[in-house]
Amino acid sequence: MSDPLIRIEDASPMGMVTLRAELNDGKAASALAFSGLEIPAPHQVTGTPEKGVLWMSPDELMIMTLPDASDAMVATLNEAFEGTHSLAVNVSDARSAFRLKGRDALVREVLAKLTPADMRPASLPVGRLRRTRLAQVPAAFWFTGDGEAMLICFRSVGGYVFDLLSKVAEEGTEVGYF
């Protein structure tokens, strides 16, 4: 029985709604506040993977919900943004999610083997999101606590990402950088 460096869990299904809109005019803030959510500052994460918001780009948020609540979230957002240039789409079925658990240094090391992103705790503290490249595909990840990270990617490459993570987390492959 091998003993991998960290534990990699499939966190699907996760409710995810992507929102593209003008985020700074107050409308988005009040629309999300209605659902008990808060717009994060750039690169930050608010809430939890069951009910939270990821800052994806200056005009894009990813709203995380419980798996069966994403359609209702889309309806709420469409109502709130009616008449403005905006887009809210339920992308739950188009994304895979993984939960990484283990010693903080090892979780960072496993990710650092696959991504060019700066994984030092000072650069990627708990609650900061990084959208980047994981080997050959796009992914986004953030730390929810010490030694606990969430990772999302496109569902079409979910199997590839799981295999990648499993490979670089194999027993005996620690580098000890962090």
Partner 1 sequence: MLILTCPYCGVACDETELHPGGEAHLKRFGPDASDEDFEGYLFQRKNPRGVHFERWRHAYGCGKWFHAARHTVTLEVFGTYPAQVFEPPEKIRAAILAKLPDWETGA
Q: Count the Cβ atoms, other than its own, within 10 Å of residue 9.
A: 11
Binding of partner 1 at residue 138 (CB under 8 A)?
Answer: yes
Q: Which residue, 67 or 125, is less far from partner 1 as judged by CB?
A: 125
CA atoms within 13 A on the CB side of 111: 35
* Closest distance to partner 1 from the beta carbon of 68 (Å): 29
Q: Which residue, 66 or 135, is less far from partner 1 as judged by CB?
A: 135
Binding of partner 1 at residue 58 (CB under 8 A)?
Answer: yes
Binding of partner 1 at residue 126 (CB under 8 A)?
Answer: no
- What span, in angstroms and rounded, lies between the C-alpha atoms of 59 and 167? 35
- What span, in angstroms and rounded, lies between the C-alpha atoms of 28 and 11? 27
- What span, in angstroms and rounded, lies between the C-alpha atoms of 78 and 90? 11
Q: Which residue, 93 or 118, is less far from partner 1 as judged by CB?
A: 118
Interface residues with partner 1 (CB under 8 A) are 42-43, 56-58, 60, 116-118, 130-133, 138
